[in-house]
Amino acid sequence: MNQKQAKELVRSRLSDKRYEHTLNVKKMAVRLAKRYGVDEDKAALAALLHDSAKEISKDEMRELMRQYPQYAEGGEERPASVWHGICAAILARTQWGVEDEAILSAIACHTAGRAGMSKLDKVVYLADMTSKERDWPGVGKLRKLEMKDLDAAMLAALKQTNDFVLSQGKPLDPQSAAAYEDILAHQKKEC
């Protein structure tokens, strides 16, 4: 699947608002990819597809994860907020002909992160949080940081997201906690 096909596909699957978000995430992902020497085409494709399963029902998502347990990444046990990324990766792999594991990974972990994230994973995760239309408090700061230091930006982003989830009394996805600990441990090693 190329970028044009991905764009057409998500246009047909998403509301105007989410489609606009998707295009903004793509722009930001390409910008970050350039900055960090990540393949721009892979970043664009992962960004275009990242929310492609966001508007299907929870039942459909559950069904998909049951149908492909080998790709479900423990999905049903995890908070429902992460299902759409896992399901988008399953659809991309099984129905839309996306074979590149790096792209599939970036799609699957765009909400929670995971331990051992690649640069492409990080680029898509951050692009989703800092796309043009995002206006949460602190987004300007993160936009500056992500152009300077990818891992520092990831730590700030994960902390922000994880604190927000906990403040709402919701369960924290273990992968999110693992992503944070993993990047922190790597940074400490480098110091």
Residues near 13 by beta carbon (within 8 Å), at least 6 away in sequence: 52, 55
Q: Tell which one of 72, 98, 105, 128 touches Fe ion (CB under 5 A).
A: 128
Burial 125-161 (b: 16+ CB within 10 A, else e): bbbbbbbeebeeeeeeebbebbeeebeebbbbbbebb
C-beta closer to Fe ion: residue 109 or 150: 109
Q: Is 48:150 a contact under the CB 8 Å cutoff?
A: no
Segment contacting Fe ion by CB under 5 A, of 50-58, 71-79, 151-159, 162-170:
50-58
Give the per-residue contact string, 87-126, with Fe ion (x = CB under 5 A; - = no): ----------------------------------------
Cβ count within 10 A of residue 3: 13
Segment interacting with Fe ion (CB under 5 A) among 4-12, 34-42, 44-52, 157-165: 44-52
Residue 164 structure tokens? 């927000």
Applying CB under 5 A, which part among 32-40, 48-56, 63-71, 112-120 lies near Fe ion?
A: 48-56
Residue of 90, 119, 123 whose CA lies nearest to 104: 90
Instruction: Please report whether residue 51 would count as binding Fe ion according to CB under 5 A.
Output: yes
Nearer of residues 62 and 134 to Fe ion, judged by Cβ: 134
Residues that bind Fe ion (CB under 5 A): 51, 128
